[in-house]
Amino acid sequence: MVRTRPFLALAAAVAVWVAPATASSAPPGVRHLHVEDGAVHATVGAGKQVRLTLDPALQRAAERLLARSGAPEGAIVASDVRTGRILVWASRGPRDFVATPLAPSASLFKIVTASALLEAGKVSPATRVCYTGGMSAINARDLEGRGDTCTVFGEALGRSINGVFARLAGKHLTPDDLRRKAGDLGFDGEVPIDVPVAPSAVRVPTDDLGLARAAAGFWSGRLSPLGALFAMQTIANDGERVRLTLLAPPGAPPRGAKGSPTPRITDGRALRPEVARTLRSMLEVTTRRGTCAKAFRKPDGTRALGAMRVAAKTGTLVGGKPARMFSWFASFAPSDRPEIAVSVMLANDLAWRTKANLVGRELLEIYFGRRPSRLVAKRR
């Protein structure tokens, strides 16, 4: 049985990238994507069929969530962290935004700064840091003196404390340190994937104030949702860079069917395993008591996903023409036994309806809600 479905957002991406990758002699172009025998196929060029790795049900759910968000532009992308298989590639707007570095990386860039600091051995989660200001901007006076508010570094990432990252980066890191780690994690350059994608671009000024601002996530460059996904997947894999896959290998079984799984292809290492594990615990703060805690509580006060631990980072920044309120949610779950990584970017009007963290949480609920409750409980 063949079920046709207009996965229109992804169609634009496949039109540009899949046709050249399959050496089709016809002009690039997708007639439609359709579900056949439990797998998503794209019709490319002169009727050529290309099978994708997408999960049909999760893809449809992501498209519904994007439509319901009301954002003029946005994207959701998800992967199986163990293999790098792309499960969702959904976009809203006039073109594909999954692999387009449209939005500023905002506070997601704190992941890069935290990684560089931990890799250099300059801090630990117990490091005490005092800071001043930095709520909505970093100014020169915020970097002076001892600071009148103190916390530990282990709380700063999940709570997204700008002043902590600005001060620590100014004291311990160089622009090259940040650029190098940004490249390792997918914030700069191309993400390793089996289709050509547009590179994200990091921007780290060389002056002290510019460095501090970039380290805290103030206009440190533009990031694609695919780049954010790759960063979270890399942390989930203990720092190993696992190549992403959108094109299903020949003979691969549909999701859930018996047969050879999608092969895991590695592309070096971005982080030492112990650093990745430290980041994992710091990112859990986000959904427990940090910037995403409210989004992970249901109206009755119970926790979404129950006792499952979720590692995540959020980001918000206003800018662009026309003016947009960009919101980010990048995560993986369960954080102690990672299965899925999710990246959501919404480019909302200034009068917005929902933010990326709620959309991301709902997609995780859908993914884990498809399982028998006893299996989900066991994984928790």
Task: Sheet containing 2-5: give its strands across.
Answer: 2-5, 30-36, 39-44, 48-51
Residue 32 confidence (pLDDT): 59
Round to whole Å and give the CA distance between 182 and 191: 11
Q: Are residues 9 and 119 in the same domain?
A: no
Residue 255 confidence (pLDDT): 59
For the chain, give the percent of residues with pLDDT over 70. Answer: 85
- Band (pLDDT 50/70/90 cuts) for residue 322 is confident
Q: Are residues 1 and 113 in the same domain?
A: no
pLDDT at 40 over 90: no
Provide φ and ψ at 188, rounded to 5°: -140, 135
Q: Are residues 197 and 272 in the same domain?
A: yes
Q: Are residues 122 and 185 in the same domain?
A: yes
Give the domain range for residue 129. 53-379
Q: Are residues 47 and 58 in the same domain?
A: no
Q: Are residues 64 and 29 in the same domain?
A: no
Q: What is the mean pLDDT of residues 350-379?
A: 78
- Band (pLDDT 50/70/90 cuts) for residue 279 is very high
Q: What is the mean pLDDT of residues 210-239?
A: 97
Residue 25 confidence (pLDDT): 20
Q: Are residues 257 and 369 in the same domain?
A: yes
pLDDT at 43 over 80: no
Q: What is the mean pLDDT of residues 69-77?
A: 95
Mean pLDDT of the chain: 87
Round to whole Å and give the CA distance between 329 and 347: 12
CATH number of the domain residue 375 falls in? 3.40.710.10
Does the global pTM surpass 0.85? Answer: yes
Q: Quick: pLDDT tens for 45-71.
A: 666 788 899 999 999 999 999 999 999
Q: Are residues 88 and 47 in the same domain?
A: no
Residue 23 confidence (pLDDT): 26
Round to whole Å and give the CA distance between 375 and 380: 9
Residue, of 236 and 13, whose pLDDT is higher: 236
